[in-house]
């Protein structure tokens, strides 16, 4: 018994000298940058959407889109008419999972050091009871590694934004329109969805 106590005493003395019993500072968690805020109003949804593009955060991007599991309306994307005619086989069944696949493909084909941005102008937000209509001209800048694909697209977007049973707002309809001769977001989605 005395031998065990002596052994334990020696072990504790040696261990305390090397700091084994000392507390240390915890490491900070590994997290990507995120500016996502609870979507309690339509304008927050729009800001979260813009931030998700800058952050290249697919989860935040998808959180801006309506989810039927929370009582939201089914998400619908309506591409420009000319892109729909050309890629009807892609857009005929476009849904939230299609948005995930497109966004992930775009991220994989992009340089991690290049910045992406969504620039909105001529913004108009109109509340209509339990929904809102947001309209804006956009420029989407997303440098990618495919030289034949657009690095920047422009057009007009119209978001129908609704509220779900959790009192959160999200985009349930997205209409993309061409402005001038520039390639649009629809063009980019068509190219990166394949």
Per-residue pLDDT of the chain (194 residues; tens, 9 = 90+): 565 555 555 555 555 555 545 554 443 333 445 679 999 999 999 999 999 999 999 999 999 999 988 888 999 999 999 999 999 999 999 999 999 999 999 989 887 778 999 999 999 999 988 899 999 999 999 988 887 788 899 999 999 999 999 999 999 999 999 999 999 999 999 999 87
Structural domain count, the chain: 1
pTM of the prediction? Answer: 0.81
128 vs 146: CA distance, rounded Å: 41
Full residue range of the structural domain in which residue 58 is found: 35-192
Report yes or no on 139 lying in a domain. yes
67 vs 164: CA distance, rounded Å: 8
Report yes or no on 22 lying in a domain. no
CA distances 84 to 76, 78, 140, 143, 184, Å, are 13, 8, 19, 24, 12
Report yes or no on 29 lying in a domain. no
CATH number at residue 131: 3.10.450.50
Residue 124 tokens read as 């108009």
Report yes or no on 166 lying in a domain. yes
Contact by Cβ (8 Å): 180, 156 = no
Q: What is the dihedral of CA 31, 143, 119, 172, to 10 degrees?
A: -70
Contact by Cβ (8 Å): 106, 116 = no
Contact by Cβ (8 Å): 171, 45 = yes
Rg (CA), the chain: 25
């Amino acid at each position: 018994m005395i031998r065990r106590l002596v052994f334990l005493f020696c072990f504790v003395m040696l261990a305390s000298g090397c700091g084994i019993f000392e507390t240390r500072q915890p490491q900070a968690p590994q997290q990507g940058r995120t500016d996502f805020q609870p979507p309690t109003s339509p304008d927050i949804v729009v800001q979260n959407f813009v931030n998700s593009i800058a952050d290249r955060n697919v989860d935040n991007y998808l959180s801006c889109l309506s989810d039927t599991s929370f009582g939201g309306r089914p998400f619908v994307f309506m591409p420009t008419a000319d892109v729909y005619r050309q890629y009807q086989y892609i857009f005929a069944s476009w849904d939230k999972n299609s948005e995930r696949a497109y966004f992930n493909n775009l991220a994989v084909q992009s340089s991690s050091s290049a910045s992406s941005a969504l620039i909105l102008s001529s913004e108009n937000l109109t509340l209509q009871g339990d929904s809102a209509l947001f309209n804006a001209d956009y420029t989407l800048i997303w440098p990618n590694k495919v030289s034949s694909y657009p690095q920047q697209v422009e057009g007009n977007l119209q978001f129908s934004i609704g509220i779900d049973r959790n009192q959160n707002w999200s985009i349930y309809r997205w209409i993309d329109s061409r402005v001038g001769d520039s390639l649009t977001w629809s063009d980019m989605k068509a190219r990166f969805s394949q």
